[in-house]
Amino acid sequence: MKIDTELKLLDTFSFSSLTDIVLLLLIFFLLSSTFIVQPGIKVQLPKADTSEEIVDKAITVTVAKGGVYYLNDMQLPIAELGAHLNSLMKERSTEVVIIKGDRNTEYWRIIEVMDICKKVGFTKFNMATEPIYG
C-alpha cells in the first residue's frame, strides 16, 4: 500500500474557525460593555430625548437624594458652595456649570444651586440627563 505524501491545496476555505473567532469577540464586547460604570456620585438622572454627551471638563454640581450637595466629587454644605465655586471659576476660567439633580430631588434645590452659581458669575448651565433609549 502506497501512502500519498504530496501536499495538495484545499479547494474550499473552512469558515468554521472564523465564525468561532467572531462569536467569541461578540460575546467579549457584549459582556465588557455591561461593566462600564459611570464614575462619581450615584444619582438617578431624569431621562430626556435630546440628551447630549459633554466631553469638556466643566464644573459639576450634584444634588443627590436627601439634599446632599457635591461640587465635582467633594461633598459640602450649601452655605459653602458659593465660595468654592468662586475659587474654581478663577482657576478654570470657565462659565459653564453642569447641574446633576436626582430625579427625586425637590425643584427648589436645583433653583437654589442655580441662584448661587449666578451670584458667583456663571452664566451658562447644563442640566444633566440620561437618554431615554439608554
* Every domain of the chain and the residues it spans: 47-131
Predicted TM-score (pTM) of the model is 0.59
pLDDT score, position 9: 74
pLDDT score, position 15: 74
Q: What is the DSSP letter of 46?
A: P
pLDDT score, position 19: 86
pLDDT score, position 115: 92
Per-residue pLDDT of the chain (134 residues; tens, 9 = 90+): 677 777 777 777 777 788 888 999 998 888 877 665 555 566 666 666 666 666 566 788 889 888 889 988 888 998 998 888 888 888 777 778 888 888 888 888 888 999 998 898 888 888 887 777 65
Distance between CA atoms of 44 and 42, rounded to whole angstroms? 7
Distance between CA atoms of 103 and 90, rounded to whole angstroms? 31
Query: Domain spanning 47-131: which CATH class is it, in words?
Result: alpha beta
pLDDT score, position 120: 87
What does each C-alpha distance from 36 to 31, 47, 116 come to in angstroms?
10, 19, 33
